[in-house]
């Protein structure tokens, strides 16, 4: 039996957040629960006190959750991150694997699955659904999904995908540069590159492409 864990819940949905807090407060295996509404607040919370497990919503306004997950792991190497999503897109799962998330759970799963996931990842294991697990391919350099769907996204670099995510969310170049701590010129260069690679030269079309490919979703 593991000792009770501290959990940081990151979700912009107030009602969901409050419901889960209430639920975790009754759960003896959770010793502390803190909830924040976005990735920036989550990073701040991790800096103040590193939680054992983070439940990270995939689609929040502001900083990309995968970008935040990477930064959390840099700041707190032992932190265990579970990606929580309404969707089970391959693109999201692959990004979760790329940031070495310890788990991936959908919002449709029952609350006891959430607790099971927390216990497993806190114990040093991973938590993916059996369907995802069966498709994992292990290489010496990392983990990927078998039979990924052929998508134009694969022509983009990780950085270009991040930029595309923010463009699709309606962020300006200046905002993207601030979020990613890079210059506006660099954002410009990445944007031009990804537009050229995708053959899309319009921000609205880019947003539609990102949604279609599962890089982002509607709120």
Partner 1 sequence: MAEFSEELARALFEDGATALAIVDLGTLVPLETNPTLLRWTGLSQQQLLNTSIDQFLELDDGDFVEQLRSKRTHSCPFQGTLQLADGGQQSVEVVILPAPQKASLAILILRQSSQLREPGTNDPQHEEAEQAIVQRLEAVGRLSSGVAHELNNLMTIALGCIDQLEHTVPEEAFKAVDVLKQVVTQGATLARSLLRFGHPIPPKRRRIDLRDVVQQGLRVLRETFGQNIQVTLTGEWKQPVLADADASQLQQVLMNLGLNARDAMPAGGQLEVRLERDINADDGDPWIALSVIDSGCGIAPENIARMFEPFVTHKGGEGVGLGLAVVRDIVEAHDGMVEVQSQLGQGTTVRILLPGVVSEPAPPPAVQPPFIPEKNVALLAQSPQYNREIVASTLEAMGMRAICASDSAELATCLEAHQDKLAVLVIDWTFLEVEGFKVPDDVPALLLSREPAAGPPLEQGRRVLNHPFRLADFRRCIEELLS
Q: Which CB sits closer to partner 1, 181 or 218?
A: 218
Tell the smallest beta-carbon distance from residue 157 to partner 1 (Å).
Answer: 21
Q: Which CB sits closer to partner 1, 48 or 140?
A: 140
- Report if residue 26 touches partner 1, rule: CB under 8 A: no
Tell the smallest beta-carbon distance from residue 3 to partner 1 (Å).
Answer: 19
d(CA 209, CA 57): 21
Nearest by Cα to 166 from 151, 181, 147: 181
For every residue of the chain, DSSP letters joined together read -PPPEEEEEE-S-HHHHHHHHHHHHT-TTEEEEEEESSHHHHHHHHHHS--SEEEEES--SSS-HHHHHHHHHHH-TT-EEEEEES---HHHHHHHHHTT-SEEEETTS-HHHHHHHHHHHHTT--B--HHHHHHEEEETTEEEESSPPP-GGGGS-HHHHHHHHHHHTT--HHHHHHHHT--HHHHHHHHHHHHHHHT---HHHHHHHHHHTTSS---
Number of residues that bind partner 1 (CB under 8 A): 39
Tell the smallest beta-carbon distance from residue 95 to partner 1 (Å).
Answer: 14
Q: Centre a 10 Å sphere on the Cβ of residue 139 and count the other Cβ atoms it contains.
A: 7
Quick note: the x/- pattern for partner 1 over 143-162, rule CB under 8 A, is xx-x----------------
Give residues 91-150 in contact with partner 1 (rule: CB under 8 A).
100, 102, 107-111, 120, 124-127, 133-140, 142-144, 146
Q: Which CB sits closer to partner 1, 181 or 219?
A: 219
Q: Which CB sits closer to partner 1, 48 or 86?
A: 86
d(CA 64, CA 49): 21
Tell the smallest beta-carbon distance from residue 219 to partner 1 (Å).
Answer: 5
Q: Among residues 61, 155, 158, 178, which is the contact residue for partner 1, using CB under 8 A?
A: 61
- Report if residue 207 touches partner 1, rule: CB under 8 A: yes
**For partner 1, which stretch binds (CB under 8 A), given 29-37, 50-58, 187-195, 209-217?**
209-217
Residues that bind partner 1 (CB under 8 A): 15, 19, 61, 100, 102, 107-111, 120, 124-127, 133-140, 142-144, 146, 168-170, 204, 207-208, 211-212, 216-219
């Amino acid at each position: 039996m593991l000792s009770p864990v501290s959990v940081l819940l990151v979700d912009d949905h107030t009602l969901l957040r409050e419901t889960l807090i209430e639920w975790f407060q009754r759960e003896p295996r959770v010793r502390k629960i803190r909830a924040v509404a976005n990735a920036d607040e989550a990073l701040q919370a991790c800096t103040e006190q590193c939680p054992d497990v983070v439940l990270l919503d995939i689609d929040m306004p502001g900083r990309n959750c995968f970008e935040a997950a990477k930064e959390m792991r840099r700041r707190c190497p032992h932190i265990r991150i579970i990606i929580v999503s309404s969707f089970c897109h391959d693109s999201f799962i692959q990004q979760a694997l790329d940031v070495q998330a310890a788990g991936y759970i959908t919002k449709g799963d029952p609350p006891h699955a959430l607790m099971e996931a927390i216990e497993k990842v806190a114990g040093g294991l991973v938590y993916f659904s059996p369907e995802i697990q069966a498709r994992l391919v292990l290489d010496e350099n990392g983990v990927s999904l078998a039979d990924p769907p052929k998508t134009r996204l694969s022509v983009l670099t990780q950085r270009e995908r991040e930029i595309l995510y923010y463009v699709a969310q309606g962020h300006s170049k200046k905002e993207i540069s601030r979020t990613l701590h890079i210059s506006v010129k660099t954002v410009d260069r990445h944007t031009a590159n990804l537009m050229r690679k995708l053959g899309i030269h319009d921000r609205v079309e880019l947003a539609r492409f990102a949604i279609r490919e599962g890089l982002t979703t509607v709120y």
